[in-house]
Structure 1
Amino acid sequence: MSTTHESTAAWRELLETLGSLDSSFLDGERAVTDDRHVADGYRMLATTLGVAFDTYLFADPSRPRWIEVNSPTRQDRRWGGDNTDAYYFMCPVDPARRYRISGNKGDSVYFSVTAYNEPSPGAWSDRIVAHIRDDDIDVDAEGNFSFDLGPTPEAAVLMTRDYQADPRAGRQVRWEIEALDAPDPFRRSDAETAVALRASAAWMKTMFAILPLAVGARVDDAHSHGHEISQAANEFAEPYQVPDANFGWSARDACYAYGSFVLEEDEALVITHRPPPCRFWNLVVWNQFMATPGVDDARSSVNGHTAVPNSDGSVTVVLSRSITQHPNSLTTLDYPRGNLAFRWFLADELPARPTVQLVKLADAPTAVT
């Protein structure tokens, strides 16, 4: 059907994009190998579509509002580096405008606001343009704070972070934002809607160019494929500090280390690391879509406040497909394969690479040392 409306053409392009994105996890080298990940793939499509619409189609930088984009309490907001110990909000902004950000810190052990650029509509950020964390601002005795931001050249979106020692019992940061300049005249145009729909499609294409995450071959299988692999399963890559030039929305204050797991039902990973002095650290279990399903039914993360350390200050975590008796036991919720993410915030030094030992479940430790 022919049309003269640009938004109609953009809508149909978006539908075509949605119809093809599942090929990222059904076909090719990155195809997932179990039906649970196929089901998770379609849920991830729905999740990212919702985030894309909230961010591009319904947002108005002259009438700002915070959009909840990651939450341990919402199954429809588990994506892009899920974190069961934190809450994230996003707000698209106009780089020429001034904003006032205020709220209350609640029980947060770390909170911040980061401004990111957007090279083109829907393109992922490649640079941090501003960063304000809790110790950069005045917080009164009741936990209240307020500060102004902008104009901020190149800023396209703000991202808040709120890390909690106990995200279920702790009081979240209360975030508020207001524009200090008069809003634009209200009018939703055909051209504006078309841009927003195309930006949503571009954003999702980039997401599914990355997802699902690769899971390396097990060391005992590494040579059966006839080539060497860059990252084996059941180990971590070297930790790194996030730079200002950055793809996506990583946190400037963070060090990360990523790994993957491939486990049989009778196996466990014994993961040990020595946390450097830092404000916050945690280890999170992901599926191959950087999300943690089943949070209410499983312990899928451990952090510096909940972990029971060994006598020498190191921390050992036992990961298996079921829960074990170890005080730092994590479960994959019977997922046979997936990914792992360490985060350290405001670390005094780059953390050492975590060590991993694959053992039989019956031989896994049940107590700290």
Structure 2
Amino acid sequence: MDNELRASWNRLCDTLKESAGYIFDPARGADASEQAEGLRHQLRMFFWAYDRIVENNDPDHPELGWVYPFKVGQDNPDAMYMTAPVDLSHTYRLTGRIDTLRYLGLSLMDHSFGRGRITQLVDVGSPDLTDIGDGRIDVVFSPDPDPGDHVGDWFQVEPHPCRLFVRQFFSDWASEDQAELHFECLDPSGPPGRLDPVRTSQLFDELAREVDTVPEFWTDFAGGQRDLGQINSFDHVPSHKVSQSAQGGSEKQSYGQCWYEVGPDEALLFEVTPPDCLYWNIQVGDTWYQSLDYVNLPTTMNDSQARLDPDGVLRVVISHEDPGIQNWIALGGCPQGAVTYRWNNADSAPVPTLRLMPFAEVGDSLLPDTPRLSADDRTALNAERRRHALRRFTR
């Protein structure tokens, strides 16, 4: 067994070394800075996969935990994502208080990214969860039917390999706090134990497969829009909600996305009348389909952070240089990547317009009475943003 354990470790190390080859593929058009970020992305994905596959992978004794930074699949900068292992031949209970955040989403789903369609067994959001008092929830996932006396929500689910995936969305970063959640298996098979060498070898091989496929899968997912010519335009996005559940998206949301290419002296003007919805956001990501630095820069914007013009239209400038207005999404020197918007629990799915223009012409494309921000104003906003983002992810 010692030889097999060592062999699985060596395979994992070799795979980690070789799996980054796609980052340096000239067809990606990634400059040296992007390649450096690509290597960091590879390590982040390894870190996330290790947490799920090795560290927190006991469905009898699950830990509902988060990984920071969670830079996976154009992660939402307004979110805290949490996961826990589940074996649906057992019964699980999620309790807690959720009244301080904008949205809580619960999904029971597998994580077969890059290996076929994602299966989602449950996809429910906080507007549809029962408040049992004082903003508290009591949710059960079980192979058994509801006995009829449970106060809260009960989901009878067929056994399927999966994890609980939790989305916490924060719109007003200053006033909305993390949910207080506790997740437990009510009928564990036995006590926790030490690692078994046979099982550990299997887990190392699974971890190797993950790091060899998933990071490149997400990169290809975003880059596919560039290959289709869906650049600096949402014209390809339908004006109705399209299910993204097979890719791991929530049925509670409508998504739209395109590839962007913006030079240092250029800007994109994003225009839309937002729908009536619980929450919305816009964000930018890089070549590797991970969010840009939202702690230190305004690389995302949501319904609490934006200003609508008097005509009800949202106008946002996406650029490397600060245009001196509230509605700015910063690219921070990243020349290409993905622009994504989300409408959460919306009554419609409007498609925004994008216009590429010289940065010098941005002012002429905004309403004349658009309020201006000074450099000091921006510094203060960025400092406040950083403080609240790091408060969310206490380290």
Please indicate the TM-score interval, normalised by the length of the shorter structure: 0.7 to 0.9
**SS of residue matched to 2:27:** coil
1:51 equivalent in structure 2: 48
After TM superposition, give the deviation of residue 296 of structure 1 in Å. 2.7
1:129 aligns to 2:125 (yes or no): no
1:243 equivalent in structure 2: 243
The question of whether the paired residues in 1 share the 8 Å contact of 2:70 and 2:81 is answered with no
Letter in 2 for 1:359: M
Pick from 149, 154, 164 the counterpart of residue 170 of structure 2. 164
1:356 aligns to 2:349 (yes or no): no
After TM superposition, give the deviation of residue 331 of structure 1 in Å. 0.7
1:221 equivalent in structure 2: none
Alignment of 1:190-229 (within 5 A): 190-212=197-219, 213-214=222-223
TM-score (norm 2): 0.81
1:279 equivalent in structure 2: 278
Moved over 6 A (4+): none
Alignment of 1:257-296 (within 5 A): 257-296=256-295
1:95 equivalent in structure 2: 88
After TM superposition, give the deviation of residue 199 of structure 1 in Å. 1.8
The question of whether the paired residues in 2 share the 8 Å contact of 1:112 and 1:162 is answered with yes
TM-score (norm 1): 0.86
Whole-Å Cα distance in 1 between the matches of residues 200 and 17 of structure 2? 20
2:70 equivalent in structure 1: 77
Q: CA RMSD in A?
A: 2.4
Letter in 1 for 2:74: G
Letter in 1 for 2:265: D
Whole-Å Cα distance in 2 between the matches of residues 94 and 242 of structure 1? 30
After TM superposition, give the deviation of residue 311 of structure 1 in Å. 2.3
After TM superposition, give the deviation of residue 286 of structure 1 in Å. 0.7
Give the 3 Å change call, closer, same or farther, for CA 250–135 of structure 1 in structure 2. Answer: same
Pick from 82, 88, 103 the counterpart of residue 110 of structure 1. 103
After TM superposition, give the deviation of residue 125 of structure 1 in Å. 5.8
Whole-Å Cα distance in 2 between the matches of residues 344 and 33 of structure 1? 30
2:309 equivalent in structure 1: 310
The question of whether the paired residues in 2 share the 8 Å contact of 1:267 and 1:320 is answered with yes
After TM superposition, give the deviation of residue 107 of structure 1 in Å. 2.1
Letter in 2 for 1:129: L
Give the 3 Å change call, closer, same or farther, for CA 281–29 of structure 1 in structure 2. Answer: same
Whole-Å Cα distance in 1 between the matches of residues 163 and 10 of structure 2? 26
Alignment of 1:336-355 (within 5 A): 336-349=335-348, 351-355=349-353
1:220 equivalent in structure 2: none
Whole-Å Cα distance in 1 between the matches of residues 195 and 10 of structure 2? 19
After TM superposition, give the deviation of residue 49 of structure 1 in Å. 1.0
The gaps in structure 1 that reach 5 residues or longer are: 218-228
After TM superposition, give the deviation of residue 124 of structure 1 in Å. 6.5
**SS of residue matched to 1:341:** strand
2:24 equivalent in structure 1: 26
Pick from 173, 176, 181 the counterpart of residue 179 of structure 2. 173
The question of whether the paired residues in 1 share the 8 Å contact of 2:244 and 2:250 is answered with no
Residues 104-129 of structure 1, C-alpha deviations (whole Å, 9 max, x = no match): 11421111210013569x95762111
Give the 3 Å change call, closer, same or farther, for CA 245–356 of structure 1 in structure 2. Answer: closer
Whole-Å Cα distance in 2 between the matches of residues 273 and 134 of structure 1? 26
Whole-Å Cα distance in 2 between the matches of residues 209 and 289 of structure 1? 8
Residues 336-369 of structure 1, C-alpha deviations (whole Å, 9 max, x = no match): 22211111111212x2321111111111135577
The question of whether the paired residues in 2 share the 8 Å contact of 1:5 and 1:190 is answered with no
Q: How many residues align?
A: 347
The question of whether the paired residues in 2 share the 8 Å contact of 1:86 and 1:163 is answered with yes
**Greater CA deviation, 303-312 or 156-165?**
303-312
After TM superposition, give the deviation of residue 285 of structure 1 in Å. 1.1
Identity of aligned residues (%): 24
Structure holding more helix per residue: 2
1:333 aligns to 2:326 (yes or no): no
The question of whether the paired residues in 1 share the 8 Å contact of 2:292 and 2:331 is answered with no
Residues 283-333 of structure 1, C-alpha deviations (whole Å, 9 max, x = no match): 011111222233232101111222111223221110001221222111101
**Greater CA deviation, 280-289 or 309-318?**
309-318
The question of whether the paired residues in 2 share the 8 Å contact of 1:272 and 1:354 is answered with yes
The question of whether the paired residues in 1 share the 8 Å contact of 2:277 and 2:346 is answered with yes
The gaps in structure 2 that reach 5 residues or longer are: 144-156, 371-395
After TM superposition, give the deviation of residue 13 of structure 1 in Å. 1.7
Whole-Å Cα distance in 1 between the matches of residues 61 and 213 of structure 2? 27
Give the 3 Å change call, closer, same or farther, for CA 243–265 of structure 1 in structure 2. Answer: closer
The question of whether the paired residues in 1 share the 8 Å contact of 2:282 and 2:301 is answered with yes
2:160 equivalent in structure 1: 154
After TM superposition, give the deviation of residue 28 of structure 1 in Å. 5.0
The question of whether the paired residues in 1 share the 8 Å contact of 2:286 and 2:338 is answered with yes
Give the 3 Å change call, closer, same or farther, for CA 28–92 of structure 1 in structure 2. Answer: farther
**SS of residue matched to 1:20:** helix
After TM superposition, give the deviation of residue 251 of structure 1 in Å. 1.2
The question of whether the paired residues in 2 share the 8 Å contact of 1:279 and 1:346 is answered with yes
The question of whether the paired residues in 1 share the 8 Å contact of 2:232 and 2:258 is answered with yes
Give the 3 Å change call, closer, same or farther, for CA 214–117 of structure 1 in structure 2. Answer: closer
After TM superposition, give the deviation of residue 133 of structure 1 in Å. 1.9
Whole-Å Cα distance in 2 between the matches of residues 300 and 280 of structure 1? 17
